[in-house]
Amino acid sequence: MSTIDLLRHGEPRGGVRYRGDGVDDPLSELGWAQMWAAVAQTSDWTHVVTSPLRRCRDFAEVIAKRSDLPLVVDPRLREVGFGSWEGRRHDEIRDADPQAYVAFFRDAVNHRPPGAEPLDRFYARVREGILAIFDEHPEGHVLLVCHLGVIRSAIALALEMPLATFYRMHTPYAGRIRLRRTVRGIELWLDQ
């Protein structure tokens, strides 16, 4: 059985705002503390995989080194691009264009921010990355340090859910989920 623990990055510097693949803030002091707290009870990983963005990669490099585990940086697992929303606060976007803001959350496939990465393309690359981890580690237990969009993609993959509802899922900074590939398929575990 192959297992992937997906760990969202901790709080980045710069406050709450849209951070896709175009904004690469490092973790704040609180973000580092959140990450260490999230991994305090687990030590049986065989590999670490990470997004190339600093808010994930910096922690992944440290935990891989401390745990003497192999580390892979996979660009397929970077966050979705938010186009013109990159780096902007949620309330700023909502106040500037309330209709576009609401439409985005109701149907994220057909109502992307201008210049944003198409959601189906993002999902396809993340899906490919996750399936590659399963294929490369058929009996392994991998820690994947990633983004909320990657976690949403993992949930969509396991539940075969429509992408239009993608932004109705949330997990906090340093939140975790687990995927297992068994003979039954890919299973989602919410409580480790």
- 9 included as an active-site residue: yes
Catalytic one of 11, 47, 79, 117: 79
- 187 included as an active-site residue: no
Q: Are 52 and 75 in contact (CB under 8 A)?
A: yes
User: Which residues are identified as catalytic?
Assistant: 9, 79
